[in-house]
Amino acid sequence: MPELQLLRLDHAPAILAFERENRAYFAASIPDRGDAYFTDFAALHAERLAEQATGLCYFHVLVTDDGEVVGRVNLVDVEDGVAELGYRIAEKAAGKGLATDAVRQICVLAAETYGLSALRAKTTDDNTASHAVLTRTGFVTTGAIDLGGRPGTTYIRTLS
């Protein structure tokens, strides 16, 4: 089972490979990151680490024993004890329970390590796998949202 690790500088090559390999797969269910993400990756990675150092965001990767990144789980826009949860799992690792396990782990970390009281999440309505993960891990629907021109649903989970 891959290990959930807090983002580090040395994760950069594996993350870039993960994002390139899965770009089309991710774009089928969430808005694409755009070409600039890939051409400016080194600078963006450094920005994420700087954001993380402020405590406004906590970025995580799911790393296999051989150092391959097979998923990302992020807590962003931390404010007043609440953060936005985002996650993505590699196509070749999908359907194996990794997202559910990672979201459960991040909920514990969010409460016990980062001192958060709730997490928000959102997904496009056609992303049934993400809806299932959120429901399985205790998130409840809070409303509707437009996600890059696509209908979506918002969720929240109170942490104990």
pLDDT at 3: 96
Identify the CATH number of the domain in which residue 102 sits. 3.40.630.30
Confidence band for 151, pLDDT divided at 50, 70 and 90: very high
Q: State mean pLDDT over 97-111.
A: 97
Q: How many domains does the chain have?
A: 1
For residues 32 and 56, the model is more confident at: 56
| Model confidence at 29: pLDDT above 80 | no
**Whole domain around residue 136: which residue ranges?**
3-158
Contact 72, 103 (CB under 8 A): no
Cβ neighbour number for residue 32 with a 10 Å cutoff:
12
Distance from C-alpha of 133 to C-alpha of 7, rounded to nearest angstrom = 22
**pTM, rounded to two decimals:** 0.92
